[in-house]
Amino acid sequence: MWDTVLEVGFNSFLLLFVTIDPIGVTPMFAALGAHLPESARRRAALQGVLLAAVILVVFGLVGDRLLTALGIGLPAFRIAGGSLLFLLAIDMVFARQSGLRSTTPVEYHEAEQRDDISVFPLAFPLLAGPGALTTILLMTTGQHGEPMQLGVVLAALSLVLLLTWLMLRLAGPLLGLLGETGANVIGRLLGLLLAALAVQFIVDGVVAVMQTITPSSVAVFNQLSGVMSQ
C-alpha cells in the first residue's frame, strides 16, 4: 500500500510541478510586476497562489461529477488529457511560449496595465492554466473512493504551490542565479519527463478502451463495416 501511496505522491508532485511550472512563471511575474512596489508584488504573489489553489482543489474535487455529467469516460479523458500534456511537453522541450503555458500577447499587454495581477494573469492562466487543470483532473478522477490517495494528491499540490509562492517572493535573486538559459535548460529536462508521463496516460487510456471491446462488439462492428462497404 505504501509503495502505491509513494508512487502516487511522486507522480502527482512531478506532474503538478511541471505543469504549474513555477520556474517558467517566475520571470513572467517579475516582468509583469516590475512597476509595482515590493509590498504589492508580495501581496500579489500570495493572493495569486491562494486563488490558484482554490481553483485547482475545486476542479479536482468535482472532476468525477463533471465528467459524468458530460458523459465522458475516464479512458477517453486520459487519452485527451495525455495528448494535451504531450503538446505542453513539446513546448517546454523547445522552450516555446504558447497559450497552454502562458498568456497570449494581447493578454500580456492587458496585464501590464493592471495594478493587481494576482487574479489575472497570475492565478489564471499562469498557475491554474489548462495544463494544471488537466493534470489535477487526471490525478483525482477515480480517487474519491481512495481518501488516502486523494489526500496524497492534494498534499503534493500544496507542496508545489508552497514552492511556487517562495519562488515568486524570491523572483529577483532566482532570476539572477539561473538566468534565462538556466531556466530554459531546467524547463527542457522537465518537459522530457512530462512527455513520458503524458504518453503513459495515453497508453493507459487506450488499454482501458481495448479491454471494453468484447468479441460480440467486434462482430457487430465488422458486420456494419460490411454493410457500409456494399
Listed by start position, the domains of the chain span 2-229
Q: Any residues with CB less than 8 A from the CB of 29 and at least 6 apart, and which?
A: 41, 45, 117, 122, 126, 168, 171
Yes or no: say if 117 and 42 are a contact pair by the CB < 8 Å rule.
no
165 CB neighbour count, 10 Å cutoff: 20
Task: Tell me how far apart the alpha carbons of residues 36 and 117 are, in angstroms, rounded to a whole number.
Answer: 10
> What Rg value do the Cα atoms of the chain yield, rounded?
20
Residue 178 is which amino acid? Answer: L
- Stretch 85-113: mean pLDDT, rounded? 72
pLDDT of residue 22: 93
Average pLDDT, the chain: 83
Average pLDDT over residues 124-151: 84
98, three cell numbers: 504558447
The answer to whether the CB of 55 falls within 8 A of the CB of 134 is: no
Q: What is the pLDDT of residues 10-54, one digit of tens each?
A: 989 999 999 999 988 998 898 888 778 888 999 999 999 999 999
> How many other β-carbons are positioned within 10 Å of the β-carbon of residue 48?
28
Which residues fall within 8 angstroms of residue 174, CB to CB, at 6 or more apart? 26, 167
The pLDDT score that the predictor gives to residue 63 is: 80
Q: Say how far apart CA 10 and CA 204 lie, in whole Å.
A: 18
User: Tell me: the pLDDT tens digits for 187-206?
Assistant: 888 888 889 888 999 998 88
pTM of the model: 0.80
Q: What nine digits make up the cell of 58? A: 475545486
SS3 104: coil
- Predicted confidence at residue 30, as pLDDT, reads 86
Would you place residue 97 in the very low, low, confident or very high pLDDT band (cuts 50, 70, 90)?
low
Instruction: Please report the pLDDT score of residue 52 as a whole number.
Output: 96
